[in-house]
Structure 1
Amino acid sequence: MPSVLPDGEPVPDDGSLPASALDGAAGRPLGFYLHVPYCATRCGYCDFNTYTASELRGRDGALASRDTYAAHLIEEIRLARKVLGDDPRAVRTVFVGGGTPTLLPAADLVRVLGAVRDEFGLAPDAEITTEANPESVDPRYLAELREGGFNRVSFGMQSARQHVLKVLDRTHTPGRPEACVAEARAAGFEHVNLDLIYGTPGESDDDWRASLDAALGAGPDHVSAYALIVEEGTQLARRIRRGEVPATDDDVHADRYLIADEAFRAAGFSWYEVSNWAASEAARCLHNELYWRGADWWGAGPGAHSHVGGVRWWNVKHPGAYAQALVGGRSPGAGREVLSAEDRRVERILLELRLREGVSLSLLRAAGLGAADRAVRDGLLSAGPYEEGRAVLTLRGRLLADGVVRDLVD
C-alpha cells in the first residue's frame, strides 16, 4: 500500500462501476483484500499506508479508532455487494494485510471474514489469509483465527539476526517467528508463510544464510524473500543519507538471491514467482496470483486498491477520512482509472512474466518479440518454453527481470 496515491478521475459517491467492468465477470476469480492500517511502531524501511497510535491523535481520531475499525470494513464489504449487484461469484481468496492486522482482536478479523461470507459466499476451497507480527499473536489467538475460518497465515520474520532486525526497526526477538510457525501448525493452519528481507545494511552473507536456515528449519510451506528497497521519506533513507548505515548494493542483492534460491531448492521448495517459493502447488499464495494474473479483487480499507474488469480505484488514505465517508453513506474511493486495452496488455506482460509459467508470446509486438529472441540467446529466457510460445525467465533472468520486461513491452 504505497504512501502516495496516484491521480485519477473521481469515484461516484455510490461507488458504481461502468457496465463494462462486469462483462464476463463470471469467468474471473474474485478476491478481497482487507487493509488494517495500524502498527505498534513504525519500521524504518516502511512506506506503506500505516499509522501508529500517536499518529492518529487529533483530526478524526475517534473515527480512526481501532475499536470501531472492523465495523467500517464491514460497511465497505456491504458497499461492494451493492456495487457488484447480482454478481454470482463466490469469493475465492481473502487476504488481510497491513499494517499489523493482528493488532485487532481475533474476533474482529473473524467478524469481518463473516461479512464477506454473508454478502458473497466463500468458494468451498477459498484461501483465507492474514498477515501477522510475531509478537502480536499467541497460541490462543491463532486457534481463534483458525476456528473462525482462516487457513493461511503469513508471519513477518525478515531476519534471524538481532543486529539486522535493529537496522530495520523490527521489534520481535529472534526465534519468535519460528515459534509462531509451530503454534500455527498446532492451531491447525494448513499453510504457513514466512517473509524475509535480504540486503539490509550491515547484513553479511552468513547472516543471510542463518536467516534462511532458521526460516526453513521452522517448517513453513511457503517463503517470500524480498530485496530491501529504500524508499524516499523513510527513516532508513534518512539514516543512509546521513551516513549512519551504508547504502544497499544491487550486486549484494543478486548474490543473496542466488544464495536463497539454492537453499530453497535444496529444501524442496520451488519458485513460482520471482520473490516467492512454495513446497507444493497447494502452498502457492492464490491471492497474490489474482494480482499477478489480472483477476478481480476488492480492496477494503484506507488506501486500499481494487480492480474489477479493467477498472482500478483506490481509497482515501487516512483512517478517519475513510470512516467518515462510510458513516456518511459514501464510497471511500479517492480516484479511479479505466484501463485501456493497451494498459491491460502491458500490465499482463509486467506481471505474468514474474511467474514460473511466464507470459504468452502472443501478447508481444514485433519489437518485443525481437527482444525476446535476444533474451533467449542471452540466457535470460528459457529456450524450451519459448519454442512452445511462452516467455519464461531463467534464474539469471529473474535477477534481471525488470530489465527484461522493459524490453518485452515495446
Structure 2
Amino acid sequence: MPSALPDGDPVPESGSLPPDALTGRDSRPLGFYLHVPYCATRCGYCDFNTYTSDELRGSGGVLASRENYAGTLADEIRLARKVLGDDPRSAATVFVGGGTPTLLPPEDLGSMLAAVRDEFGLAKDAEVTTEANPESVDGRYLERLREAGFNRISFGMQSARPHVLRVLDRNHTPGRPEACVAQARAAGFAHVNLDLIYGTPGESDDDWRASLQAAIAAGPDHISAYALIVEDGTRLARRIRRGEVPPTDDDVHADRYVIADELLTAAGMDWYEVSNWASASDGSARCRHNELYWTGADWWGAGPGAHSHVGGVRWWNVKHPAAYAQALAEGRSPGAGREVLAAEDRRVERILLELRLAAGCPLAVLTPVGRAAARRALDDGLLEPGPYEEGRAVLTLRGRLLADAVVRDLVD
C-alpha cells in the first residue's frame, strides 16, 4: 500500500456511501483488507504506509501503540457493518497486510479476523491470508495463526542471495523463508506464497536464478515475482542518486521476467496475473483476494492509509495510526478522501486490470479505436490468437513484457 494518498472529495463523518454503490452488490464478492502499519525496521526500497517504533515515539502515544491496535481496527470493522447496513454478503476473503502483521501476537491477528467473522460472517470456503516476515515467526506462532482461522500465508523472501538482501535492507537470514514454508505446511496451512523481487542493483542473472530455484525447492504453491520499483523518497532512491549503487534497468527487468516465467513454468506453476504464478491447475492456489482487486469486486480496507472500493466508490483512510485511532475513538470515519468513479473510469480500469490476467479482457469493452489497437497488437505478436478469435485480449509472453504499452493503446 503506497504511502502517498490521492486528492479526493471529503468522506462523511458517518462513512455513508451513495445509495447507488450498493446496487447489485449481491452479484459481487466482498473482501476485507486489514492493514497493520508496524515494522521493526524500514526496508530501503519500501514506500508503504508503515512505521517503526522510533517513528511513532512521541507522535501519538497510546493511540498509535501496537498493544491497542487490534481493538482499534475492530472498531472500523464495526463501522463497516453500519455503513453497509443489511448487506447479506459474508466475507469471501480476508487479507492482513503491512507493514509486518506478524509483529503482533497471533491472538491479535485472530481478534481482527474475529471482528470480520462476528460482523459479516466468513464464507464457508473463505480465503484468510496474512503476510509474514520470516524472522518474526516460528513453528508455534504459525500453529497459533492456523488455530485463529488463517489458512493462507505469504512470506517475504525477496532473494536468496545475502548481498541482494543487503541492498534491499532486508534483515532475514538466507534460507529462513524456505524453512518457514515447511513450518507453515506442518502447521496446517493449505496455501503458502513466497514473494520475490528482481532487478535489485548488484543482482546478476545467476543470483536471480538461484533465488527462483530456492523458492521453487521450498514447495510453496504460489510465487509472486515483482520488478523492483525505486520510489522517490526512499533510502534506496537516495543511494542511487548519490551513486552508491547502480540504477535499475528496464532491459534487465525484462530478461529477469523471462527467466522467472521459464523456471516457474518448468516447475509446474502457471501465470495467472503478470506477476503471479500458482501451481494448481484448478485455480485453488491463486490468491483470491487479489483477484477481487483485479476484477473490480468490493473490498473494505481497514487500517491507516488503507484503500476501499464498493460499487464504484473508492476511498482511503488517514495515514497516521494516531489520527486513525482518534477518528474511530470519536465515532468518526477515518476516511481521508474518496472519489465516485464514472462509467468511463470503471471501463478504463477494467481494461488496465483485466489485461494483466491470464483470462484477459473482453474485446467488447474496447472502443472502436481500442479494438483496432488490439488487432495491431495481435499482428505484432502481443496478443494470443486463440483467445482473440473468441473475443478476448490475452497477452503473450512478449505482450506481458510490454504490458504497459499495450494497455495504453487499448484504452484509447
TM range, normalised to the smaller chain?
over 0.9
* AA partner of residue 109 (structure 2): L
1:28 deviates by 0.3
The residue number in structure 1 matching 2:351 is 349
* AA partner of residue 225 (structure 2): A
Matches within 5 A, 1:43-58: 43-58=43-58
Question: Whole-Å Cα distance in 1 between the matches of residues 89 and 338 of structure 2?
Answer: 23
The residue number in structure 2 matching 1:329 is 331
The residue number in structure 2 matching 1:371 is 373
Question: Whole-Å Cα distance in 1 between the matches of residues 267 and 384 of structure 2?
Answer: 23
* AA partner of residue 329 (structure 2): V
- Residue 135 of structure 1 aligns to a residue whose secondary structure is helix
* AA partner of residue 212 (structure 1): L
Identity rate of aligned residues, in percent?
80
- Residue 34 of structure 2 aligns to a residue whose secondary structure is strand
* AA partner of residue 145 (structure 1): L
* AA partner of residue 197 (structure 1): I
The residue number in structure 1 matching 2:169 is 169
Question: Whole-Å Cα distance in 2 between the matches of residues 218 and 337 of structure 1?
Answer: 43
- Residue 51 of structure 2 aligns to a residue whose secondary structure is coil
> CA-to-partner distance for each residue in 1:348-385, whole Å, 9 max, x for gaps?
00000000000000110011011100000000011110
* AA partner of residue 86 (structure 1): D
Ranges in structure 2 where 5+ consecutive residues have no aligned partner: none
Matches within 5 A, 1:45-194: 45-194=45-194
Ranges in structure 1 where 5+ consecutive residues have no aligned partner: none
Question: Whole-Å Cα distance in 1 between the matches of residues 349 and 184 of structure 2?
Answer: 35
> CA-to-partner distance for each residue in 1:295-348, whole Å, 9 max, x for gaps?
000000000000000000000000000000000100000000000000000000
Question: Whole-Å Cα distance in 2 between the matches of residues 172 and 248 of structure 1?
Answer: 23
Question: Whole-Å Cα distance in 1 between the matches of residues 74 and 287 of structure 2?
Answer: 24
1:286 to 276, 288, 292: 288
- Residue 2 of structure 1 aligns to a residue whose secondary structure is coil
Deviates more, 1:301-310 or 1:56-65: 56-65
Matches within 5 A, 1:147-296: 147-280=147-280, 281-296=283-298
Q: Would you identify which runs of 4 or more consecutive aligned residues in structure 1 move more than 4 Å?
A: none
Question: Whole-Å Cα distance in 2 between the matches of residues 94 and 32 of structure 1?
Answer: 5
Question: Whole-Å Cα distance in 2 between the matches of residues 164 and 294 of structure 1?
Answer: 35
- Residue 72 of structure 2 aligns to a residue whose secondary structure is helix
* AA partner of residue 160 (structure 1): A
1:61 deviates by 2.5
The residue number in structure 2 matching 1:388 is 390
1:4 deviates by 1.0
Question: Whole-Å Cα distance in 1 between the matches of residues 60 and 205 of structure 2?
Answer: 46
* AA partner of residue 181 (structure 2): V
> CA-to-partner distance for each residue in 1:220-252, whole Å, 9 max, x for gaps?
000000000000000000000000000000000
* AA partner of residue 245 (structure 1): V
- Residue 331 of structure 2 aligns to a residue whose secondary structure is coil
Question: Whole-Å Cα distance in 1 between the matches of residues 159 and 4 of structure 2?
Answer: 27
Question: Whole-Å Cα distance in 1 between the matches of residues 112 and 241 of structure 2?
Answer: 42
* AA partner of residue 103 (structure 1): L
The residue number in structure 1 matching 2:32 is 32
Question: Whole-Å Cα distance in 2 between the matches of residues 289 and 311 of structure 1?
Answer: 18
1:188 deviates by 0.2
1:59 deviates by 2.4
The alignment covers a number of residue pairs equal to 410
1:44 deviates by 0.3
* AA partner of residue 288 (structure 1): N
> CA-to-partner distance for each residue in 1:90-135, whole Å, 9 max, x for gaps?
1000000000000000000001101100100000000000000000
- Residue 92 of structure 1 aligns to a residue whose secondary structure is strand
Question: Whole-Å Cα distance in 1 between the matches of residues 253 and 316 of structure 2?
Answer: 31
The residue number in structure 2 matching 1:310 is 312
Question: Whole-Å Cα distance in 2 between the matches of residues 53 and 153 of structure 1?
Answer: 25
Question: Whole-Å Cα distance in 1 between the matches of residues 254 and 30 of structure 2?
Answer: 35
TM-score (norm 1): 1.00
